[in-house]
Each structure stands twice: as C-alpha cells, then as structure tokens.
Amino acid sequence: MFRILDLFCCEGGAALGYHSAGFEVVGVDLNPRFRKRYPFEFRSGDALEFVRNYGDEFDAIHASPPCQAYSITKHSHHKKHPQLIEPTRKALQDSGKPYIIENVVGAPLVDPVLLCWGMFFEAGSVLDDDGTPLRMERHRLFETNWGLHQPDHPAHDRSVWVGGSYGGTSRSKYEAKHIRKGGYVPSKAVQEKLLGVHHMTLHGLHQSVPPAYTQFVGGELVKHLERTHV
C-alpha cells in the first residue's frame, strides 16, 4: 500500500478521498484540535518542517495551504492571512516526491487542473430538508508535478439550487437569491450529504475538499506510482 502525507490536513476531507483510492494516510496540521476529528493517523506540528524531516518516508505528498489569502470570496485583506503556496511548493520540490497542491480558484498554482462537484455528482441528486433538489459549486485547483488530467466539466444546472457552507453563516433561500447573491446554506445534515462526509464540524465542512475530488486524484496518482515505483 502506498503512503501519502496530508499537509495542512484540517478535519480530513482530502484524506478520506485518498484513503478510498487505496492510500495509507498520515495528516499533519499545526492546530492540535483537529486530531479528534481527523479519521486517520494525525501529527500536530508545522507542515513544512514535517515534510523536510519526514517526507522521505512517504510515496507522495498532498498539501492544502490556507486558502484565505487567495479566495475570491474573501471579506478581508490578503495581508491578514499567510501566503504559503510558494514555500509549500519549494518544500515539496525539495522532497523529490510526487506532490499535489490544492487550493481555491485565484490561488497562484502552476498549470492547475480544476475539479468541480458536477464532475462527480448529478445536480439535484441531494435533496434539501424540504425536498428542494440541490447542487454545489465548489471549484478547487490541483497542481501536480506528475501530470493530472482534467475530467469533462459539465455545465452547471442553473435550475437547481446551490447549497453549501459559506463561512458558517446562516443564509436563507430568499437572502441567497435576492440579497447576497450567494449560495444557500442548508442544514448540517444536508451539507454532509452534498460533500459525502459525516464526521466534521461546520467549520470542517466549510473548509473541506470533497473526498470525491481526491479519490479521483488519488486513483490517477496510484497509476503514476505503479508505473514509476521501484
């Protein structure tokens, strides 16, 4: 079984996908409170220091540096948030391992592949508590040094309500449509169905990479490792 290091792991959305793809996963995050939510082996500490010290023990490395500095939906100035993509890339390149850097649209990734909820789920396949069909628009970028391809990106079905977690705020359907022009925030149970996770806090759901994304990435990474692993 291949081992993957999950840096800036938060509550483990990316980890679930890699596990489903067949990886043994070890997560690292500076915040020790994520330990009780992370579903696999967890190490508390500085992610970049950890990869410099222990990266050679893994077959591949995934990193999700904090996205707030790059998010197009931010509500505060970039300088208030760490910009860690460049130092993360340097640490991963120095490791010599196959790597993935994941972040939001707007982040300075190199030749990234965009993944979207609609690539893996059918719009309307999840129902809100009142029976309204829902979909998500959670675009994420993935930079690799081993050549990941992008699946077909289906057109978004604008007739289906957008549901998801947006900063943990409560947002009604009326407010989403007529006032803030953003996604509707359904109940936590419905958000769990949209993402395919059932162990996270609301904060974790908001930050999470949908596991379906990294299950796809992990499946492609396994093929690469099988071709190149000595």
User: What pLDDT does 71 receive?
Assistant: 54
How far apart CA 40 and CA 16 sit, in angstroms, is 9
CATH of the domain at 173: 3.40.50.150
Beta bridge partners of 126: 134
How far apart CA 57 and CA 196 sit, in angstroms, is 30
Q: Which domain holds residue 139?
A: 3-228
Number of domains in the chain: 1
67's tokens? 């996205």
User: What pLDDT does 54 receive?
Assistant: 97
User: What pLDDT does 230 receive?
Assistant: 62
Q: Provide the residue-wise pLDDT of the chain in tens; the chain has 230 residues.
A: 999 999 999 999 999 999 999 999 999 999 999 999 999 999 999 999 999 999 999 999 999 998 655 555 444 444 566 689 999 999 999 999 999 999 999 999 999 999 999 999 999 999 999 999 999 989 999 999 999 999 999 999 989 998 987 655 667 777 777 776 667 889 999 999 999 999 999 889 988 999 999 999 999 999 999 999 76
Distance of CA 90 to the CA centre of its chain: 20
Q: How far apart are the first and last CA of the chain?
A: 14
Tell me the per-residue pLDDT of 164-196, one tens digit each, with 9 for 90 and over.
Answer: 876 556 677 777 777 766 678 899 999 999 999
pTM over 0.85: yes
101's tokens? 């850097």
